[in-house]
Each structure stands twice: as structure tokens, then as C-alpha cells.
Amino acid sequence: MTRYEFVVYTWLTRSQINFDFQSTDEGGRMEWGGMDVPFILPDEGIAIRIEPDSAIDRSVIENSGYRVVDVEGIDLEIDLDTVMKKAVAGNEMSPIDSDLYKDIFFASKGFYSHAPSASSNIPPSISTPVVTTGTASNNVINGTLTCDGGQYCKVRFRWGTTTYTDSLLSLIFPWKFYSLINVFSPNISLSFSLATSAFESLTAWQENKITGSTFSQSLATTPSQVYAYKAEAENKDYSVFGNIRTFVGV
């Protein structure tokens, strides 16, 4: 498997946005089945830069502030032999960091059949597994970044003591149901618990998390005290919270 860097190049601004992905080579054809494309492809075209045998200079990608998000239903195929033309010295599309790559190719928009569009950033999502009991006066809370939303995220926990107010409430709904032989109005009862928490404490941010990253935090707790917590994830445009979890300090 060869690693490629997916580069968006615009003729007017002569700027690049870098994305890292992998693809397989089959003869003269590179194929991306359901390729990850996080933006509207420009009319000017795209460039594919092929990495040498040595490790890629990841700072170019990581410092761009972007990551790839999935866009379903895309099958982008580019034939290197007939579709792409090689960028040469003196071409307007002079490559950046060309010493890092074996070859650089360019394909205009007219040569590929799909011009997918999607937001470059969507809200992240997180889950909060059940708390792990640690040593005396210590508990470990956990979180998983289930989706980074297309960019690197930072994560943390909000936590604090909590109190419960339990109540049972019966509600009579004035709905009537009709049949051929009867009219009846059922009584519907609902029961629920209310929980409030100040979440007065915040853990430090943990940076550069991506989809699938797990994170945890050890908390100093008071035995028999009830605590509540929720995980928080934030990328460039969005901030979200996971489900509220509770545990009893040990």
C-alpha cells in the first residue's frame, strides 16, 4: 500500500490544503472506493503527491488544522496514465516541499466524475463508559471520542457532587380513542427521576484527539459521596457533551 497526500490546489490563490490518506495501486489506476472528501472540490482541480519511501513530513498535514471526514456514496477513480499530467519545473502549479515526494500529478475537475460536497467540519460525538473504581479515595472516569467531526479535538470532563430528587407523577391525558363499539379515555402514568449537578470541577483539556481516542481522569473522591460527570469534546466549530454518569466515591 502506498501513502498519498491529497492536496487541493487553487490557481488563483496558489494555496494548498493538505490531507493524508491511503490508497491501493492497481496497474496505472489509483482507486478510492468511497473516498473521504471533506470539502467542495475546486474547479481548478486536485493534485496527488506521492510519498517517498522515507516517512512523510507530517507537520505539513497536522499544522493545517484539518482532518478527513467520511462522505458516503463517493467512488472517485483517476487513471494516472491517461487523466493526469505530471507537474514539471516552471509550471504554474509548482509544488511545495517537492523534495519529500517521488512524483507530483495534477488532474483537472473535468477528468473525474464526482465533485462531492460536504462540510469540512461537523460536531464531534463522545461516549462515557461506566466509571472505573480505583484505589481508596480515588476513582477513574473514562471517555471515548466516537467521532472527531473532521478535525482534531480537545476533550475534558466536567464533574462534581450531585443530589437526587425522586418523584412519581401521574398524568391524565384527555385523549379519546374511538372504535365501532366504544369510546374510551385511558389514563397514562409516567414516573421519572430528576438529577441536578453543579459540575463545579473541570479537568484539564487533553489535546489532539481523533476518532476512537480514549481518555480518562483520576479523581480524588470522598467515600460514600455521590458524584456526577460528563465528558466534553470540542473541535474548531463545535462543543458537545456526553451522557451524564454518576458514581459513589470509594
CA-based nearest residue to 153, from 230, 216, 211: 211
* Model pLDDT for residues 225-242, shown as the tens digit of each residue: 888 888 999 988 788 888
Rounded to whole angstroms, the maximal C-alpha distance in the chain is 88
CA-based nearest residue to 247, from 129, 124, 166: 129
Q: Whole-prediction pTM value?
A: 0.43
Percent of the chain whose predicted confidence (pLDDT) is above 70: 34
CA-based nearest residue to 154, from 199, 202, 186, 218: 202
* Model pLDDT for residues 125-147, shown as the tens digit of each residue: 898 877 766 555 678 898 999 88
Helix, strand and coil in the chain, % to nearest 5: 5, 45, 50
Cell 463545579: give the residue: 200
Q: What is the second-level CATH architecture of the domain 125-248?
A: Sandwich (2.60)
Which three three-digit cell numbers place residue 164? 437526587
Indicate if the pLDDT at residue 174 is higher than 50: no
Could you state, in order of their start, the residue ranges of all structural domains in the chain? Answer: 2-111, 125-248
Contacts of 4 (CB under 8 A, 6+ apart): 20, 21, 22, 23, 30, 48, 49, 50, 51
pLDDT score, position 184? 45
